[in-house]
């Protein structure tokens, strides 16, 4: 394990007070993580000493920029145990990566009568692109239900995952329920019916070791900004044969091998999917974030979050009229707790907590079908944790929730 107080000193933003002059308590890492100084400094160094376009120049700075850009790709490949760096495609975020798959793979491979299977606990980014793909191809989107305790209803899986299913896409960890899904089992079941698998790993890659070869998934996506890296860059991992079979997503510079007035041919992986000037500084920052997480150790990160989550579940359960969404056991959850506090709208909860210097998320968390169709809620409040979260901060969260109840005369 690591020293949380020492880790906190690595995050400049956490060492400043809230405008209320109370300590800043950041419990919204599932939306976007804070950045350690090492990431900020790596990006500053790139702009100060290495800034140039990549792949296109023969001068010193272009070589330097290319080296750090491709070096970041290799770090990320190693981080998730991709067989090769060229199977790592840089996108703007996980959402763009999912849209890339939906637009390219779906356009070529789906036909009327085919089915796309997703789940009832998905983020909108793993619902809307498939609805658009279905409209474009004549396929149908189906949703695997969830159980009352917030798990996928695996008892019904064989009814939903059939020979008609051409693609099965699911989250590794729910961004609302916190549920950790059995990804290897789901991939195996999909392979048995001939479906390819797409994993939304935005809430798993930042928080626990991920091995794409052991999972054996076809495609997997995640975002930099949720794993201590900058905004503006995400990752698509894919099996080589899948990526090579997919047409380009966008046309332009660097994704071509040859262009004539009669037509074009495409570049090799990964560049076929990286048209135009890429997010170079952002890749450098993501590489630095990977270095930082590796230094902490992903097993340690996971153990710390499970410990904090267990403490939060126990502490929050003492607050009257507070209903926790999702599994009750910490080992079945990622590092977040969404909840409904009876008698107080989640937006009001978040506002009162903000007055105490505590940042949480309130709303439907880009999961409207889950909230409205399955949980019977319009919204919820969510506290999410990361490497810098301490038990003291959970205690402050609980005290602030008691204050919210007093303000609304519920106590």
Q: What would the two tokens of residue 191 be?
A: 């392979």
How far from 226 is each of 7, 73, 167, 201, 385, CA to CA, in Å?
17, 17, 26, 11, 11
Measured between alpha carbons, how far apart are the two ends of the chain, in Å? 39
Determine which one of 256, 366, 377, 398 is catalytic: 366
Q: What distance in Å separates the CA atoms of residue 382 and residue 324, rounded to the nearest whole number? A: 10
Residue 128 φ/ψ, nearest 5 degrees = -60, -45
Instruction: Confirm whether 217 is a catalytic residue.
Output: no
The single residue listed with the structure tokens 């929730």 is 401
Q: What would the two tokens of residue 36 be?
A: 């350690």
Sign of the dihedral through C-alpha 175, 176, 179, 182: negative
Point out the residues that are catalytic. Answer: 366
């Amino acid at each position: 394990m690591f020293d949380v107080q020492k880790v906190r000193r690595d995050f400049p933003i956490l060492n400043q007070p809230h405008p209320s002059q109370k300590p800043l308590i950041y419990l919204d890492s599932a939306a976007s993580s804070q950045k350690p100084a090492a990431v900020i400094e790596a990006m500053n160094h790139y702009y100060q000493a290495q800034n140039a376009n990549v792949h296109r120049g023969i001068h010193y700075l272009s070589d330097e920029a290319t080296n750090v850009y491709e070096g970041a790709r290799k770090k990320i490949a190693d981080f998730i145990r991709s067989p090769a760096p060229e199977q790592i495609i840089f996108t703007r975020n996980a959402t763009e990566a999912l849209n890339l798959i939906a637009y390219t793979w779906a356009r070529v491979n789906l036909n009327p009568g085919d089915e796309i299977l997703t789940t009832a606990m998905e983020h909108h980014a793993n619902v809307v692109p498939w609805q658009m793909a279905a409209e474009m191809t004549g396929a149908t989107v189906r949703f695997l239900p969830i159980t009352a305790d917030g798990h996928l209803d695996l008892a019904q899986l064989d009814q939903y995952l059939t020979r008609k299913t051409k693609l099965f896409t699911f989250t590794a960890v729910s961004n609302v329920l916190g549920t950790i899904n059995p990804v290897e089992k789901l991939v195996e079941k999909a392979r048995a019916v001939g479906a390819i698998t797409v994993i939304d790993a935005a809430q798993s890659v930042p928080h626990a070791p991920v091995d794409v070869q052991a999972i054996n998934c076809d495609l997997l996506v995640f975002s930099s900004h949720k794993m201590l890296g900058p905004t503006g860059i995400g990752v698509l991992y894919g099996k080589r044969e899948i990526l090579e079979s997919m047409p380009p997503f966008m046309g332009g510079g660097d994704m071509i091998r040859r262009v004539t007035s009669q037509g074009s041919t495409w570049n090799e992986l990964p560049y076929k999917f990286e048209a135009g000037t890429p997010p170079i500084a952002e890749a450098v920052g993501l590489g630095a974030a990977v270095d930082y997480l590796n230094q902490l150790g992903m097993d340690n990160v996971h153990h710390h979050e499970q410990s904090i989550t267990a403490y939060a579940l126990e502490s929050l359960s003492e607050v009257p009229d507070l209903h926790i969404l999702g599994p009750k056991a910490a080992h079945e959850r990622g590092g977040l707790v969404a909840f409904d506090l009876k008698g107080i709208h989640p937006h009001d909860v978040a506002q009162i907590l903000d007055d105490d210097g505590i940042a949480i998320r309130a709303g439907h968390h880009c999961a409207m079908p889950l909230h409205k169709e399955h949980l019977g809620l319009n919204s919820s409040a969510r506290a999410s944790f990361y490497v810098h979260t301490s038990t003291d901060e959970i205690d402050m969260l609980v005290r602030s929730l008691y204050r919210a109840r007093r303000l609304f005369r519920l106590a």
